[in-house]
């Protein structure tokens, strides 16, 4: 089984030695899941549409995680454009190979204006997931709970540029996404079958 991740800077692991995709690979490989990461630095949902035929379609993954939003927010992509781009990617994937589809939010920001900017896109992810019946992974709520539990601020889990998580931040994201993916696979019965094999 293949999990393909397509997103921007955070999904690409920018500014971190090991991004969350690398951590997920270590976590999921023993379960028979190959993680393929086709994310790139500073790419937006427009890039996701533009490169769908080369970055997603050829792999025909059983699991597809679309992880855009932060770069879109800071690149001044309109929310309506972002939503439409997600809708197009979801529809293309379903028409061509019909994977289990996951949309994910990202981390929280300490600065209120930055948080307000990305929250618009997090709401769009929720709308698209509801309208098109995708699985939404609310990374930002897991992140916020982690901060509260460990008495941290987001600044301690990101680099000097707060758009990009540091090594520990990627561990938190990997944990959030890993738990949601495993939960889905267990409910679908695939993970149990894989473990028995």
**CA gap 90, 126 in Å, rounded:** 14
Dist. CA 173–CA 189, nearest whole Å: 24
pLDDT bracket for residue 188 (50, 70, 90): confident
Q: At what angle do helices 167-188 and 139-150 cross, to 10 degrees?
A: 120
Residue partners of 21: CB distance under 8 A and separation at least 6: 5, 11, 13, 35, 37, 39
Q: Phi-psi bin for 135: left (phi > 0), alpha (psi -120 to 50), beta?
A: beta
Give the percent of the chain with pLDDT over 90: 94
> CATH number of the domain that 122 lies in?
3.40.50.1110
pLDDT the model gives residue 58: 97
- Taking the CA atoms of 97, 84, 5 and 172 in sequence, report the sign of the dihedral they define: negative
CA dist 161 and 100 (Å) reads 33
Angle at which helices 112-132 and 79-96 cross, to 10°: 40
* Weakest-pLDDT range from 74-78, 83-87, 152-156, 190-194: 190-194
Q: What is the pLDDT of residue 23?
A: 98
Q: How many domains does the chain have?
A: 1
Q: How far apart are CA 146 and CA 6, in angstroms?
A: 25
Rounded average pLDDT over 20-33: 96
The answer, yes or no, to whether residue 175 has pLDDT greater than 70, is yes
pLDDT tens digits along 142-155: 999 999 999 999 99
* pLDDT at residue 195, as a whole number: 55
Q: What is the span of the domain harbouring residue 112?
A: 2-196
Distances (CA, A) of 88 to 5, 34, 43, 46: 16, 25, 16, 10
Mean pLDDT of 73-100: 97
Query: pLDDT tens digit string along 103-125?
Result: 999 999 999 999 999 999 999 99
Q: Hey, what are 195's tokens? A: 């473990």
Centre a 10 Å sphere on the Cβ of residue 122 and count the other Cβ atoms it contains.
23
Rounded to whole angstroms, what are the CA distances from 186 to 3, 101, 118, 190? 15, 16, 31, 6
- For residue 192, what pLDDT is reported? 55
pLDDT of residue 197 exceeding 50, the answer is no
Is it the case that residue 165 has pLDDT exceeding 90? Answer: yes
Q: Are 165 and 147 in contact (CB under 8 A)?
A: no
Q: Is 40 helix (H, G, I), strand (E, B) or coil?
A: coil
Check pLDDT > 80 for residue 196. Answer: no
Amino acid 50: pLDDT = 98
């Amino acid at each position: 089984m293949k999990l393909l991740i397509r997103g921007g800077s955070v999904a690409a692991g920018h500014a971190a030695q090991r991004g969350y995709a690398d951590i997920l690979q270590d976590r999921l490989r023993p379960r028979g899941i190959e993680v393929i990461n086709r994310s790139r630095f500073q790419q937006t949902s427009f890039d996701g549409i533009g490169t769908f035929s080369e970055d997603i379609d050829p792999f025909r993954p059983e699991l597809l995680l679309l992880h855009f939003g932060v770069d879109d927010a800071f690149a001044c992509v309109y929310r309506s454009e972002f939503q439409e781009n997600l809708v197009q990617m979801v529809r293309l994937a379903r028409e061509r190979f019909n994977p289990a589809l996951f949309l994910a939010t990202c981390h929280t920001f300490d600065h209120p204006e930055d948080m307000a900017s990305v929250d618009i896109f997090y709401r769009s992810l929720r709308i698209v997931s509801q309208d098109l019946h995708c699985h939404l992974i609310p990374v930002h709520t897991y992140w916020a709970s982690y901060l509260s539990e460990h008495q941290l601020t987001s600044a301690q889990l990101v680099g000097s540029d707060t758009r990009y998580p540091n090594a520990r931040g990627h561990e938190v994201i990997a944990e959030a996404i890993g738990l949601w993916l495993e939960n889905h696979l267990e409910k679908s019965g695939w993970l149990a079958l894989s473990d028995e094999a």
